[in-house]
Amino acid sequence: MSRRTQSATRPSYSHGQLLAGEPARKAARPGLVSEFISLDGVVQAPGGPEEDTDGGFRHGGWSMPFFDPEVMGSFISEGAARTDALLYGRRTWQVMAGAWPERAGDPFADWINAVEKHVVSDTLSEADLTWAPTSLIRGADLTAAAAALRERPGRDVGVLGSAQLVRSLFEADLVDELNLMIEPIVLGGGKGIFPANGAARPFHLVSATTAATGVQVCRYQRLR
């Protein structure tokens, strides 16, 4: 199956995207959110059966059959090239910290191990931060810490997974871009990233690509 790509003309607004090879922009923004997401909006445990079983979730690893290395792998790599810091929720950070430190030798593994990381948690201690470089942000300090990252010179600040954290960033209107890999499966319930607080937040579709596995790979940027 051939892939299909659509690109939209991006509107003129202040937080333009940083692509690999472009100069670093003036301010890093904490809202580059990247997710594997089902048709019914679930982001819980895409990578493995024991990743997150909260709420009796029993479909862990649901994303794996739909992974297209050419389209989705390239999309993830492009996001990494535009990112010089990562912001995690506690569970996602622990899953990643348990998986990546022993891997090396490919560009993504080397990048994710070396990149600056921040984890939002009220239960972890400094002694738990064995996946360097990682700094600890307490939940009460999230908005202020995210705002500080937003004003700092550099590239984008990315968020991977971390459903509860993303909902908090949405509620504080700190999500500037959504990189969604929308997968052709309905999971019947599970954790999502969108708050249900009645606030409308418009986004602009920058690009859309159809992977051979039926995944819709979409970039949306916040309209302000």
Rounded Cα–Cα distance for residues 174 and 172 (Å): 5
Question: What pairing do the DSSP bridges indicate for beta strands 4-7 and 116-120?
Answer: unpaired
Q: What CATH number labels 42-222?
A: 3.40.430.10
Beta-strand ranges (E) seen in the chain are: 4-7, 32-38, 83-89, 116-120, 134-137, 156-160, 177-183, 203-210, 216-222
Bridge partners of 119, per DSSP, are 88, 136
pTM: 0.86
Give me the pLDDT at residue 104, please.
85
Rounded Cα–Cα distance for residues 220 and 106 (Å): 28
Give me the pLDDT at residue 4, please.
54
Q: Is the pLDDT of residue 94 over 70?
A: yes
Q: Is the pLDDT of residue 90 over 90?
A: yes
Q: Is the pLDDT of residue 158 over 90?
A: yes
CB 32 within 8 A of CB 83: yes
Whole-angstrom CA distances from 28 to 25, 86, 168 are 7, 11, 18
Average pLDDT for 145-165: 91
CB 176 within 8 A of CB 16: no
Beta-strand ranges (E) seen in 72-139 are: 83-89, 116-120, 134-137
Rounded Cα–Cα distance for residues 48 and 186 (Å): 17
Rounded Cα–Cα distance for residues 107 and 105 (Å): 7
Lowest mean pLDDT among 64-68, 100-104, 211-215: 100-104
Question: At 146, is the secondary structure helix, strand, or coil?
Answer: helix
Give me the pLDDT at residue 5, please.
57
Amino acid letter for position 223: L
Average pLDDT for 99-112: 92
Rounded Cα–Cα distance for residues 216 and 3 (Å): 10
Q: Is the pLDDT of residue 132 over 90?
A: yes
Among candidate residues 44, 43, 47, 45, the one with its CA nearest the CA of residue 64: 47
